[in-house]
């Protein structure tokens, strides 16, 4: 009998966290006929077993396991651009989870190309935007890449998944699994599901993991100075720090004062509203400081135009359009605005709030001599007369043309002088 020729299998690169879903995905993909290669991205998540993840992947059946330290990429290409844009989805969410997805997509495509894999795979469900982000971003980088989404496809309940795991010797978590769905990285922590799904419920203590309850925060505030160069934070309290250290230090300090808790119902891209609790101590502190510095350094019209762009930046990030021509153009605009965003901001961190106390910049266009009501005022008061004439001209012209401008009030206005008793008249 001729020796059996091994059939070469197609390879798939799986985004692997070491959790139950992506662990079960290994044998599941093997059953679909693939050799599974895992890719785990270190984006600063709080896993205490990072070193064991590759080992676990191999034990579970992966042929190769890759671990990429993407923390600096995450900071330089996503977090800092987001900070420069003061990006907050729907005005509140600092996009921590959303930033990691294009990066993970890129890492998957990178490993797929290196390993000659035909497909990539992720463990997202069919209800979130993470599936959209990963697939749209991967498609932007390699339009030919095939994407597999085991969790979206396998239609298993939690119980069936555990059963499947046991049958395929997938190590199941020995500690009690969190009742929440969690995702975290350097820029913050996202927590959803469980009791949070009823927006009337107050998030229980256990929903938080990075911050102290503001009610239990120290009675003594912390004061911190953050220095920015071209919109990027470079020092804390005068000490130069790289991104990883700086964000880590602020997460710790601001988190200890309960800063950065966000509880929101957000509009998902996939059509429904969901409730999520975020903890982003460094992000909230830095965005607060950065916004303040812009108030003294940016021209008024630039600030206004940037405000519109910032909203667009946040929405595009949330909606998975990171690798797009518009995003590139937006970032070029934002970068141009940041050339003058240099200086230092002093903040007070106290019981859940980061409040700006002071700011200074060599590039400030805030001018004391123009602003002051005291001695040294250089503002030309007389020039206001002509200015108001011209500024108000179109409005005056409108009134003259359309006979608008009634001074009558909508409701009854009581005039004390009409009753014959003038009660208070300043002398």
Q: Is 97 in the site for ligand ARG (CB under 6 A)?
A: yes
Q: How far apart are CA 346 and CA 352, in angstroms?
A: 16
CB closer to ligand ARG, 27 vs 94? 94
Of 5-13, 175-183, 233-241, 323-331, the window that binds ligand ARG (rule: CB under 6 A) is 175-183
By CB under 6 A, residue 190 contacts ligand ARG: yes
Q: At what angle do helices 20-31 and 50-60 cross, to 10 degrees?
A: 30
Sheet of strand 34-42: strand arrangement: 64-69, 34-42, 10-15, 119-121, 146-148
**Cα–Cα nearest to 105, from 145, 73, 135:** 135
Q: How far is the CB of 121 from ligand ARG (least distance, A)?
A: 17
Q: Which is nearer to ligand ARG, 17 or 288 (CB)?
A: 17
Binding residue for ligand ARG, selected from 13, 145, 191, 283, defined by CB under 6 A: 191
CB of 226 to ligand ARG, least distance (A): 25
Report in angstroms how near the CB of residue 58 gets to ligand ARG at its nearest.
26
Contact stretch for ligand ARG (CB under 6 A) within 176-184, 254-262, 333-341, 353-361: 176-184
Note if 35 is an active site residue. Answer: no
Options 140-148, 181-189, 203-211, 280-288: segment touching ligand ARG (CB under 6 A) = 181-189
Say whether residue 184 binds ligand ARG (CB under 6 A): no
From the CB of 30, what's the least distance to ligand ARG, in Å?
A: 25
Which residue(s) pair with 188 in the sheet? 185
Q: 192, 225, 279, 294: which one contacts ligand ARG (CB under 6 A)?
A: 192
Per this entry, what is the length of the chain? 427
| Nearest distance in Å: CB 251, ligand ARG | 18
Burial of 156 (0-12, 13-18, 19+ CB in 10 A): middle
Question: Number of residues in contact with ligand ARG, rule: CB under 6 A?
Answer: 11
Phi-psi region at 320: left, alpha or beta (left = phi > 0; alpha = psi -120 to 50):
left
Which helix (H) or strand (E) segment holds residue 167: the answer is helix 158-167
Known catalytic residue at 10: no
> Between residue 276 and residue 335, which ones bind ligand ARG under the rule CB under 6 A?
276
- Nearer of residues 86 and 129 to ligand ARG, judged by Cβ: 129
Burial readout 280-300 (b: 16 or more C-beta within 10 A, e: otherwise): bbbbbbbbbbbbbbbebbbee
Ranges within 113-132 binding ligand ARG (CB under 6 A):
129-130
Is 181 catalytic? The answer is yes
- Pair type for strands 34-42 and 64-69: parallel
Looking at 17, 23, 97, 101, which residue is catalytic? 101
- Sole window of 160-168, 184-192, 254-262, 334-342 interacting with ligand ARG (rule: CB under 6 A): 184-192
Of the residues 178, 181, 267, 344, which one makes contact with ligand ARG according to CB under 6 A? 181
* CA contacts within 13 A on the Cβ side of 139: 11
Question: Minimum distance between the CB of residue 199 and ligand ARG, rounded to whole angstroms?
Answer: 14
Q: Which of 181, 268, 312, 324 is catalytic?
A: 181
What does the block give as tokens for 62? 């992966």
Decide if residue 348 touches ligand ARG (CB under 6 A).
no
Is the CB of residue 186 less than 8 Å from the CB of residue 75?
yes
Three-state secondary structure call for residue 414: coil
* Active-site residue flag, 101: yes
CB of 191 to ligand ARG, least distance (A): 6
Instruction: Work out whether 13 is an interface residue with ligand ARG (CB under 6 A).
Output: no
Of 99, 97, 108, the residue nearest 40 (C-alpha): 108
Residue 253 main-chain phi, psi, to 5 deg: -65, -50
One residue of 183, 225, 279, 294 binding ligand ARG per CB under 6 A: 183
Closer to ligand ARG by Cβ: residue 92 or 303: 92
**Nearest approach, Cβ of residue 358 and ligand ARG (Å):** 33
| Contact status, residue 189 vs residue 183, Cβ threshold 8 Å | yes
Smallest CA-to-CA distance from 61 within 36, 87, 89 is with 36
Chain-centroid distance of CA 52 in Å reads: 28
Question: Could you list the active site residues?
Answer: 21, 101, 130, 181
Residues that bind ligand ARG (CB under 6 A): 97-98, 129-130, 181-183, 190-192, 276
């Amino acid at each position: 009998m001729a020796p059996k020729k091994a059939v070469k299998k197609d390879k798939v690169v799986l985004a692997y966290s070491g959790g139950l879903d992506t662990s079960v995905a290994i044998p599941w993909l093997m059953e679909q006929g693939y050799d599974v290669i895992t890719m785990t991205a270190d984006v600063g998540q709080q896993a205490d077993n990072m070193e064991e993840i590759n080992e676990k992947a191999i034990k579970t059946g992966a042929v190769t396991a890759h671990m990429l330290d993407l923390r600096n990429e995450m900071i330089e290409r996503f977090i800092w651009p987001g900070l420069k844009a003061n990006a907050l989805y729907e005005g509140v969410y600092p996009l921590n989870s959303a930033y990691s997805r294009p990066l993970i997509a890129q890492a998957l495509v990178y490993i797929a190309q290196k390993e000659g894999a035909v497909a990539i795979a992720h463990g997202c469900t069919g209800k979130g935007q993470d599936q959209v982000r990963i697939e749209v971003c991967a498609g932007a980088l390699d339009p030919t890449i095939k994407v597999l989404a085991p969790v979206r496809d396998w239609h298993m309940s939690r119980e069936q998944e555990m059963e499947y795991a046991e049958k395929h010797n997938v190590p199941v978590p020995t500690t009690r699994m969190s009742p929440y769905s969690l995702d975290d990285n350097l820029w913050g922590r996202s927590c959803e599901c469980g009791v949070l799904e009823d927006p009337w419920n107050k998030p229980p203590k256990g929903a938080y993991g990075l911050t102290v309850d503001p009610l239990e925060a120290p009675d003594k505030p912390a004061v911190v100075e953050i220095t920015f160069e071209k919109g990027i934070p470079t020092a804390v309290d005068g000490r130069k720090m790289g991104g990883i250290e700086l964000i880590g230090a602020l997460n710790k300090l601001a988190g200890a004062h309960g800063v950065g808790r966000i509880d929101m119902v957000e509009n998902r891209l996939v059509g429904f509203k969901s409730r999520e609790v975020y903890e982003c101590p460094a992000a909230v502190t830095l965005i607060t400081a950065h916004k303040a510095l812009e108030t003294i350094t940016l021209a008024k019209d630039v600030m206004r135009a940037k405000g519109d762009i910032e909203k667009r930046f946040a929405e595009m990030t949330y909606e998975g359009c990171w690798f797009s021509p518009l995003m590139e153009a937006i970032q070029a605009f934002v970068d141009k605005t940041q050339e003058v965003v240099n200086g230092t901001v002093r903040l007070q961190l106290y019981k859940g709030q980061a409040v700006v106390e002071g700011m200074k910049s060599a590039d400030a266009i805030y001018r004391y001599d123009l602003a002051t009501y005291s001695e040294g005022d250089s503002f030309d008061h007389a020039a206001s007369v002509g200015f108001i004439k011209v500024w108000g001209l179109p409005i005056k012209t409108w009134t003259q043309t359309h006979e608008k401008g009634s001074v009558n009030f909508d409701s009854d206005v009581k005039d004390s002088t009409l009753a014959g008793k003038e009660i208070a008249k300043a002398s």
